[in-house]
């Protein structure tokens, strides 16, 4: 019997709506598996909490989370609280404290989806982005001076450490080595960013020597962004710094047909701390409360959690069921359908049960 203590943070906006569907699916997964249970504890942290308590989570929030096996999160941020406060008050402390230094974001054209790219059939786009998730451009080093004067100045320091680069790039090489196509693409901008990016590239080439079986390529981020649109079929594993991969994976979401279906996993590869599973999208204030958010991004993160737990067959079954739901046209409005968030979640649960 495998019991997973799961911390659930629905967060803000549509986060609360899609997480409920994800939990429903996990319940069915547990029913089907027999030997696997999820013991969930929900935490009401986020922007509402901030408005009441002046912080995004309690002071002992991270200590509380540390004792869980995994974290299932919806989205964080709402117009009621500045984004840099909400993000740095909840999401980023979790990623950093728990050394979730790899952020995995698959980009796959599912059956039943239409890509905005012409001529691509299901399966033709199928790669994964490995995002460096603990340093790089998202640093808290810097400051602002001369407030409210004409020479007000802001400085934010990018920092890249050998330790940080090495562990992420090695993770990406391992993924590529174990994939059928054995190909790894690295994003750089060493022509414009002349200290950190050449360092990233040199580390990439140094580590490459340990993986002779992996085919590699390095592209500047601007060209790579265009290739995501013009030849996405050419990618297998893509590794990039924190900011570059963040931007690339929104393009990834777009070419999959909607950011509403794109999943992500923040992984602590050593398993010393919980990993965190969350969709790529945010709280979507424009559609929050309407019951029309697409829950598939969240549900796909449950598949990533199953993979992380070593339950690959169940994970694949879940992805197949997601595809069958899409094929039947049970889709939310972002995919051109009329279904509600709950209807999509229910359809996926029903199909899972029927598949047994």
Compute the distance between CA of residue 299 and CA of residue 304 in angstroms, rounded to an integer: 9
Residue with smaller CB distance to Mg ion, 112 or 297:
297
Beta bridge partners of 41: 7
**Number of Cβ atoms within 10 Å of the Cβ of 1:** 6
Burial of 118 (0-12, 13-18, 19+ CB in 10 A): exposed
Residue 246 near Mg ion by CB under 5 A = yes
Nearer of residues 136 and 188 to ligand NAI, judged by Cβ:
136
C-alpha angle 164-153-241 in degrees, rounded to nearest 5: 20
Residue 188 interacting entry, from Mg ion, ligand NAI, none, C-beta within 5 to 8 Å by type: none
Q: Report the residue closest to Mg ion, judged by CB.
A: 246
Q: Return the one option of Mg ion, ligand NAI, none that residue 246 interacts with (CB less than 5 to 8 A, by type).
A: Mg ion
- 292 φ/ψ sector (left φ>0, alpha ψ -120 to 50, else beta): alpha
Q: For residues 252 and 295, which CB has a smaller minimum distance to Mg ion in the complex?
A: 252
221 touches 188 (CB < 8 A): yes
Residue 297 binds which of ligand NAI, Mg ion, none (CB < 5-8 A, kind-dependent): ligand NAI
The yes or no reply on residue 12 touching Mg ion (CB under 5 A) is no
Smaller CB separation from Mg ion, 236 or 246? 246
> Which listed range, 120-128, 245-253, 300-308, 329-337, lies at the site for Mg ion (CB under 5 A)?
245-253
Two tokens, residue 2: 């495998």
CB of 109 or CB of 259, closer to ligand NAI: 259
Beta strands in the chain (DSSP E): 2-11, 36-42, 70-75, 102-108, 126-132, 142-145, 153-156, 183-188, 215-220, 237-240, 263-267, 275-279
User: Which of Mg ion, ligand NAI, none sits in contact with 83, Cβ below 5 to 8 A by type?
Assistant: ligand NAI
Distance CA 272, CA 276 (A): 13
Tokens of residue 18, six digits:
């899609």
Q: By the criterion CB under 6 A, which residues form the site for ligand NAI? A: 14, 18, 75-78, 83, 87, 91, 259-260, 278, 281-287, 293-294, 297, 332, 334
CB of 267 to Mg ion, least distance (A): 17
| Shortest spacing between CB 250 and Mg ion, in angstroms | 6
Q: Is 278 in the site for Mg ion (CB under 5 A)?
A: no
Q: Least CB distance from residue 87 to ligand NAI, whole Å?
A: 6
Measured distance CA(223)–CA(230) in Å, rounded: 10
Smaller CB distance to ligand NAI: residue 18 or 214? 18
Residue 282 contacts which entry, ligand NAI, Mg ion, none (Cβ below 5-8 A, type-dependent) = ligand NAI
Q: Which residues bind Mg ion (CB under 5 A)?
A: 246
């Amino acid at each position: 019997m495998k019991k997973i203590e799961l911390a659930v943070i629905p967060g803000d906006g549509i986060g609360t709506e899609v997480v409920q569907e994800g939990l429903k699916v996990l319940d069915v997964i547990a029913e089907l598996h027999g030997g696997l249970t999820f013991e969930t504890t929900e935490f009401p942290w986020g922007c509402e909490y901030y408005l009441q308590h002046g912080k995004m989570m309690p002071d002992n929030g991270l200590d509380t989370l540390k004792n869980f096996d995994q974290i299932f999160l919806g989205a964080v941020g709402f117009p009621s609280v500045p984004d840099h406060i909400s993000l740095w008050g909840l999401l980023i402390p979790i990623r950093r404290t728990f050394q979730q230094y790899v952020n995995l974001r698959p980009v796959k054209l599912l059956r039943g989806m239409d890509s905005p790219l012409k001529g691509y059939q299901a399966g033709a786009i199928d790669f994964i982005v490995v995002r460096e998730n603990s340093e790089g451009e998202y640093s808290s080093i810097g400051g602002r001076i001369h407030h409210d004067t004409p020479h007000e100045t802001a400085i934010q320091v990018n920092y890249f450490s050998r330790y940080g680069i090495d562990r992420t790039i090695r993770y990406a090489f391992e993924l590529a080595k174990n994939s059928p196509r054995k190909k790894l693409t690295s994003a750089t901008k060493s022509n414009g960013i002349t200290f950190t990016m050449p360092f990233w590239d040199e580390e990439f080439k140094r580590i490459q020597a340990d993986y002779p079986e992996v085919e590699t390529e390095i592209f500047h981020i601007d060209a790579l962004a265009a290739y995501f649109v013009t030849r996405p079929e050419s990618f297998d594993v893509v590794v990039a710094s924190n900011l570059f991969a963040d931007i690339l994976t929104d393009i990834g979401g777009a070419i999959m047909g909607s950011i509403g279906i794109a999943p992500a996993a923040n992984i602590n590869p050593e398993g010393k701390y919980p990993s965190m599973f969350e969709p790529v999208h945010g709280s979507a204030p424009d559609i929050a409360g309407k019951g029309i958010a697409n829950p598939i991004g969240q549900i796909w993160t449950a598949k990533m959690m199953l993979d992380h737990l070593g339950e690959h067959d169940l994970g694949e079954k879940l992805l197949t069921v997601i595809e069958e739901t899409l094929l039947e046209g049970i889709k939310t409005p972002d995919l051109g359908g009329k279904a509600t968030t709950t209807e999509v979640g229910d359809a996926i649960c029903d199909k899972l049960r029927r598949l047994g």
